[in-house]
Chains A and B, each alone.
Chain A
Amino acid sequence: MSQLRLSLAITNNPRTRPIVDGRVTIDGIDFVTSVLGPAEMFWRQLRAAEFDVSELSMSELMMITAQGDKRFVGLPVFTTRRFYHTGILVRRDAKIDRPADLNGKRIGVPEYVQTSALWTRGVLESEFGVTAKDMIFFMERLPNKCHGDAIGFKPDGVTVNRIPSEKSIASMMLSGELDACMSYTGVPNLVDRSDLDLSKQPDIKPLFPDSAAEGIRYYKKTGIYPINHGMVIKREVYEKNPWIAINILKAFSQANAITERERQEQMVYHFETGLVPGECRAAVARPLINYGLRANREVLETAARYSSQQNLTPRIMPLEELFAPNVLAS
């Protein structure tokens, strides 16, 4: 009995752990797994297609597909989400008290095309009327380490300056050369070089003073919990082995079910002692993340619309073009 050996690049989070540690196995497949940060992973995939299977930026998958780059087929597995716009940081002296005040301001971003920045700009435009061209962007990643360059991105109608290699978003936020930044992590990796927790700096504050409340407001209003990464398989591997798409999707769904159960098990002591009141039990038991296209169509279509609105793609990418044909009904 032999298994198909495939290389896998994956991030580390509760929903991927059962795959990483081997509790969930994939019928017919042996994964050789590399746990990587997403910034490095996507750059390695876009530039050189190093891995047979990997997570990939949804924004960048839409862009390369629109360009006719057919190296990958998507899988509707979405392990990471966040309300990215709630993470915007601003300088206290920049006179930015509300989102509308970002008009005309200098904004740092690690990578203009990254999915978290797509969502941040999309929400700024749809919720607060600030469009991408109202801001002046400064992008940190250098041409040889940049997702945008790897896929030939040219800004269209927006100003995207390059941050020189001796500076970073962090240094420019501190010096006052930037007024605000989005999608900031402060965790250096192969492609990012800011290495400072800006949120703890005295001159810096979050745009939304209660960012948790803003995330909840947005979720209640839209029902959207923004997706960051999807997954991809190399098309040539998929075409030779069309059965792997559904087998991999099933394995990740199984990993997701383990995560759902574990969340509840891990909360038991806090409910029993009353530290967290029993009325939250039902909420904690409620599954929030489901894979497959059906459960995520609205959030994906919103991202596709934002991508076209922001000129990252020349048209609204239909989901049918992004994902493997045999998972379209999932």
Chain B
Amino acid sequence: MSSKLQLSLAITNNPRTWPIIDGRAAPDGIDFTTSVVDPSEMFWRQLCFAEFDVSEMSMSSLMMIRAQGDERFFGLPVFTTRRFFHTNILVRKDAKIDSPADLKGKRVGVPEYQQTSALWIRGALENDFGVAPKDVTFFMERVPARSHAGAVGFRPPPGVTINQIPPEKSIGSMMVSGELDACMFYIRNQNLVDRSTEDLHNHPAIKPLFPDSAAEGIRYYKKTGIYPINHGMVIKRALVEKNPWAVINILKAFNQANEIAERERREHVTYHLETGLVPPHYKDALATRIIEHGVKANRNTLEAAAAFSNQQGLTPRIVKVDELFAPNALGS
């Protein structure tokens, strides 16, 4: 009779986590009790209360707590979500913002100043377009009791202005009323910590900063080779100390889930390739693997994020990648 370690898991819902959620990929020796949770809410619950044994975690917040000496969690090099976040900046049409440089002096909404997507956006704005965080005035939506900032005791870096959006307003309402000129990252899905509801993407007074945002993402990727990582994963340190084997077993299960996602992508597009709806010469591109877990395959991207974090004053020094992850996952 064998028994398994029962661990609580909080995870988002995407092609690379589905095989874990539905049990097709399961770590040896571990039984997950799984909660599918929106990331905004998940990170707040973890940072405030460390509710889950294993969860996804904002890479930016993980760097910040590590720099503060908060040792509750070890990182796991599993990165299920990526995006070219800066391509999603929205601006008011009447705010006279035609290029990124025009953001200077403007009022910019952000759900959570320290969130990883905002870290990447400010990093791209500063390093690709010369707009530094102190050049804009930030308005943050999440209130202290429900923010990651409140949870980790974040104070605005010197020179950066971060105003609090009052509880009766939101990024959505202030973009529509003209109290904001732009917003970095717009979260509209229902969760415990965000409250915007307006459909800004289809609002007549609002447009994307980059008219062809897909092209801007591709430009950035070609230039930097970086596909920005949003979430990593964490496991409670006390658990690893008692069960050091859990780290690699979990990593292996997520690698297996990633393999399933790779195979499924190819299966899913077979009919479109066969009928020529997607021209057959894209078959190889479609088979190309973009996402790999592990430290080695992601070191560049993680180091870029750590440099941005320090440049933006979120961390007092550049946190080393090796400080973030469980020791037995460093060779991965």
Q: Are B217 and A216 in touch, CB under 8 angstroms?
A: no
Residues of A near B276 (CB, < 8 A) are 215-216, 219-220
Residues of B near A274 (CB, < 8 A) are 214, 217-218, 221-222
Beta-carbon nearest neighbor of A275 in chain B: B285
Is A98 in contact with chain B by the CB < 8 A criterion? no
A263–B275 Cα distance when bound, in Å, is: 15
A289–B265 Cα distance when bound, in Å, is: 17
Is B99 in contact with chain A by the CB < 8 A criterion? no
Beta-carbon nearest neighbor of A270 in chain B: B286
Q: Interface segment, B122-130, B144-152, B188-196, B266-274?
A: B266-274
A262–B16 Cα distance when bound, in Å, is: 11
Contact with B along A266-309 (1 / 0, CB 8 A): 11011111111110100110101100000000000000000000
Query: Which residues A202-218 have CB closer than 8 A to chain B?
Result: 212-213, 215-216
**B12 CB to nearest A CB, Å:** 12
Residues of A near B274 (CB, < 8 A) are 82-83, 212, 215-216, 219, 225
Is A14 in contact with chain B by the CB < 8 A criterion? yes
**Given contacts A82-B274, A225-B275, A273-B227, are A263 and B269 in contact (CB under 8 A)?**
yes
**B25 CB to nearest A CB, Å:** 12
Q: Are A267 and B275 in touch, CB under 8 angstroms?
A: no
Give the total of A residues in contact with B, Cβ under 8 Å: 36
Is B324 in contact with chain A by the CB < 8 A criterion? no
| Centre residue among A23, A269, A277, A284 by max chain B CB count within 10 A | A269
Q: Are B271 and A266 in touch, CB under 8 angstroms?
A: no
Q: Are A273 and B275 in touch, CB under 8 angstroms?
A: no
**A102 CB to nearest B CB, Å:** 22
Q: Are B83 and A267 in touch, CB under 8 angstroms?
A: no
Q: Are A21 and B264 in touch, CB under 8 angstroms?
A: no
A216–B278 Cα distance when bound, in Å, is: 10
Name the contact of B269 in the complex, choosing from A23, A272, A284, A289 (C-beta under 8 A).
A284
Q: Are A21 and B268 in touch, CB under 8 angstroms?
A: no
**A172 CB to nearest B CB, Å:** 28
Is B327 in contact with chain A by the CB < 8 A criterion? no
Is A70 in contact with chain B by the CB < 8 A criterion? no
Residues of A near B14 (CB, < 8 A) are 265
Q: Are A14 and B214 in touch, CB under 8 angstroms?
A: no
Q: Are A273 and B271 in touch, CB under 8 angstroms?
A: no
**Given contacts A262-B264, A263-B268, A274-B218, are A284 and B278 in contact (CB under 8 A)?**
yes
Is B155 in contact with chain A by the CB < 8 A criterion? no
Name the contact of A272 in the complex, choosing from B84, B265, B280 (C-beta under 8 A).
B84
Q: Is the interface of A mostly helix, strand, loop or mixed?
A: helix
**A220 CB to nearest B CB, Å:** 7
**Given contacts A225-B271, A286-B277, are A270 and B15 in contact (CB under 8 A)?**
no
**B297 CB to nearest A CB, Å:** 14
Q: Are B273 and A212 in touch, CB under 8 angstroms?
A: yes
A83–B271 Cα distance when bound, in Å, is: 10
Is B243 in contact with chain A by the CB < 8 A criterion? no
Is A81 in contact with chain B by the CB < 8 A criterion? yes
Contact with B along A23-55 (1 / 0, CB 8 A): 100000000000000000000000000000000
Q: Are B15 and A81 in touch, CB under 8 angstroms?
A: no
**Given contacts A275-B290, A278-B214, are A269 and B277 in contact (CB under 8 A)?**
no
Is B282 in contact with chain A by the CB < 8 A criterion? yes
A216–B272 Cα distance when bound, in Å, is: 10
Residues of B near A259 (CB, < 8 A) are 268
Q: Are A267 and B271 in touch, CB under 8 angstroms?
A: no
Name the contact of A289 in the complex, choosing from B227, B264, B271 (C-beta under 8 A).
B271
**B328 CB to nearest A CB, Å:** 28
Beta-carbon nearest neighbor of A17 in chain B: B264
Name the contact of B286 in the complex, choosing from A220, A265, A276, A283 (C-beta under 8 A).
A276
**B215 CB to nearest A CB, Å:** 8
Is A13 in contact with chain B by the CB < 8 A criterion? yes
**Given contacts A13-B267, A269-B290, A272-B214, are A219 and B275 in contact (CB under 8 A)?**
yes
Residues of B near A272 (CB, < 8 A) are 82-84, 214, 217-218, 221, 227
Beta-carbon nearest neighbor of B264 in chain A: A266
| Centre residue among B84, B264, B269, B290 by max chain A CB count within 10 A | B269
Q: Are A288 and B288 in touch, CB under 8 angstroms?
A: no
Q: Which A residues are closer than 8 A to B by beta carbons?
A: 13-14, 21, 23, 81-83, 212-213, 215-216, 219-220, 225, 259, 262-263, 265-267, 269-278, 280, 283-284, 286, 288-289
26 pairs, A vs B, C-beta closer than 8 Å: A83-B274, A212-B273, A212-B283, A220-B276, A225-B274, A262-B15, A263-B269, A265-B15, A266-B15, A266-B265, A266-B268, A267-B265, A267-B269, A269-B227, A269-B291, A270-B286, A270-B288, A272-B83, A272-B214, A272-B221, A272-B227, A273-B218, A274-B217, A280-B278, A286-B277, A288-B272
